[in-house]
Structure 1
């Protein structure tokens, strides 16, 4: 497993026998889950016993530092003015976005992350992906985490077709793999259903079309750990169904999927486990139905 520790964005190998704090507790909790749950045929797959850990989050804290308004921090002119006037450094406001979160994710799981706005869901994904350094605690990953929308960044001045090729290459596909999967990516996105939009520059796309193409590019590759932030809220119901089915396929191919969404229906249809965050703290970690029912009964739950 690779590790992202406080103040270091680069990953380093984890000791072979090191087990982070909380991993045993989380594994025991997962082992207590029932082998399967009753539900609709289109719902989540039966929960399997925990297998190979792919992500271990151990006492994670993420803190944003916001410099006071009007201080001009980062502006050369304002900095020179402070030096000449012998002013002190600008005031710093700390935002504790993630507070001591601990959990273990296993290969083959699809995990939903829910919570009200500003609860730290997207921050948690960025920390797992190695895009935000922990202030305290550690993140261990087995394989390369891929955050949807980062690995498949699109360029507005290029056509959709060119973005499909560049996005696939950026995710590590070979040219042969990109060409083999090109038509499937375009068909999956549905951007050509009404016209030949794939030949037009991305700046002519609606935000929904761009999001669908971004998801289609990212989902074309098998990921060790795939993290999706609100992707299923974009597009019509037909596209959402295709997206949910693709996530199930990724799980069968031995990956781990994290899904952040305010759409509880998508979470129920896609995930068999849910993490509930509020004000940066992990309030609940358990089976989907159980956690979502508790969340919906909570003031502010939706």
Structure 2
């Protein structure tokens, strides 16, 4: 499926341009004869069988433009390239072809975003805010807002993050990321583990971020969250754009195709 060339709407302000983007992973494996892990290790040690390199073409010639104020949902089955595309927009993966151009600094928020598990939630708020460029004074001003938004159980803000459930950790990461205005905010599954109350607050916060700054990209398997939060949806299939447009239309087409 050949992807269309990128076309920019002159009446709107582009903030992310993805132009003919290709992302290729190189995976190394022992290859050759089958056997136990010990046998494979001995073959490598004896240089009897050099590791083979396989290429995985995760994103294939993707092109689109995101405009200031967009909230774009990325949907697709597992392995369709959603998270890879987010990492490429964030500048974490080098293109094998094409390119990504952004007006401002993209910030990637994922469920596995790196906070210090051995430190308390309180210390992680401070470190996270400072890492995003907030001053110590701004961090102190935002602290209570972050704690309230994360809605942790009483006292848990003083506990190490290693004691948090996945939902508590996801809420705190989102609360920290949402404490400042981002040029481009990339959210990978961060809302998937929240309850209905948290999803409502997250939706309101994303709308606020859209009003105050650039664009928001959201990856979530919960299609209801995507439809309620985004003004546009891109459906990825085997690393290519299958459909791009109105959330209700794209989600309906995706649901029909994947339910067969």
TM score, norm. by length of structure 1: 0.78
The answer on 1:188 being equivalent to 2:149 is: yes
The answer on 1:101 being equivalent to 2:84 is: no
- Note the 1:129-148 alignment, pairs <5 A: 129-148=90-109
The answer on 1:228 being equivalent to 2:187 is: yes
Question: Matches of 2:104 and 2:143 in 1, distance apart?
Answer: 25
> What is the aligned residue count?
251
Following TM superposition, by how much is the alpha carbon of 1:131 offset from its aligned partner in structure 2, in angstroms? 0.6
Superposed CA RMSD = 2.3
1:177 to 138, 142, 148: 138
Question: Matches of 2:74 and 2:112 in 1, distance apart?
Answer: 20
Kindly indicate whether the alpha-carbon contact (under 8 Å) linking 1:111 and 1:273 is maintained by their aligned counterparts in 2.
yes
Kindly indicate whether the alpha-carbon contact (under 8 Å) linking 1:53 and 1:105 is maintained by their aligned counterparts in 2.
yes
Kindly indicate whether the alpha-carbon contact (under 8 Å) linking 1:234 and 1:240 is maintained by their aligned counterparts in 2.
no
Residue 229 of structure 2 is matched in structure 1 by: 270
Following TM superposition, by how much is the alpha carbon of 1:130 offset from its aligned partner in structure 2, in angstroms? 0.6
Kindly indicate whether the alpha-carbon contact (under 8 Å) linking 1:151 and 1:170 is maintained by their aligned counterparts in 2.
no
Q: Kindly tell me: are residues 152 and 93 of structure 1, through their superposed partners in 2, closer, same or farther at Cα, counting changes over 3 Å?
A: closer
TM score, norm. by length of structure 2: 0.90
Q: Kindly tell me: are residues 132 and 96 of structure 1, through their superposed partners in 2, closer, same or farther at Cα, counting changes over 3 Å?
A: same
Which 5+ residue runs of structure 1 have no aligned equivalent? 1-20, 32-49
Kindly indicate whether the alpha-carbon contact (under 8 Å) linking 1:152 and 1:217 is maintained by their aligned counterparts in 2.
no
Question: Matches of 2:174 and 2:229 in 1, distance apart?
Answer: 15
Question: Matches of 1:119 and 1:149 in 2, distance apart?
Answer: 17
Residue 37 of structure 1 is matched in structure 2 by: none
